[in-house]
Amino acid sequence: LQFTEEKLGQAEKTELDAHFENLLARADCTKNWTEKILRQTEVLLQPNPSARVEEFLYEKLDRKVPSRVTNGEVLAQYMAEAANDFGPGTPYGKTLIKVGEAQRRLGTAERDFIHSASITFLTPLRNFLEGDWRTIAKERKILQNRRLDLDACKARLKKAKAAEAKATVTP
């Protein structure tokens, strides 16, 4: 009732401290930017949407995500197979072997980077959103409910004082 009356402009609302309001605004801003950065980093690390959904499902089911071969590693494998077909002694075969080995190292480095970024960068962001932010939201809701209770009590007290003053004025 108090919340509805406040929204309709029929009841007074106790304002929170300006510093506290600033902290709440900063917390909201932090949450929003953290969500955006987390999502975009996930897109960067895994551009394939269906693979991201699969990883999300594995994560929610508390299962280990199967290791994927990177595109660079697949290309390296193709180059090695082509080199064997053309013959490792031919100039084209030798080139494919060298480039394929370099591509394999790049693919391995990419996989290591994705794994490292997931652990050292994405995990803390998720921990904030799933832990700290949930606590902040829960405490904010409790504070809002207490403020509404306080304002409702103030309104009842005001009505009681008005009724008492009216009763003393009219004998």
Maximum distance among all Cα pairs of the chain, rounded to whole angstroms: 117
Q: Average pLDDT in the 51-61 region?
A: 82
> Predicted confidence band at 5 (pLDDT cuts at 50, 70, 90)?
low
Distance CA 76, CA 132 (A): 43
For residue 9, the model assigns a pLDDT of 66
pTM over the 0.75 mark: no
For residue 139, the model assigns a pLDDT of 95
% of the chain beyond a pLDDT of 90: 55
> Predicted confidence band at 2 (pLDDT cuts at 50, 70, 90)?
low
CATH number for 1-168 (one of 1.20.1270.60, 1.20.1070.10, 2.40.50.100, 3.30.2130.30): it is 1.20.1270.60
Contact 1, 152 (CB under 8 A): yes
Domain boundaries, the chain: 1-168
Nearest CA to 82 among 67, 70, 71, 93? Answer: 93
For residue 171, the model assigns a pLDDT of 60
90-111 confidence digits (pLDDT tens): 999 999 999 999 999 999 999 9
Q: Average pLDDT in the 113-138 region?
A: 94
Contact 52, 46 (CB under 8 A): yes
> Predicted confidence band at 152 (pLDDT cuts at 50, 70, 90)?
confident
Nearest CA to 113 among 153, 70, 145, 158? Answer: 70
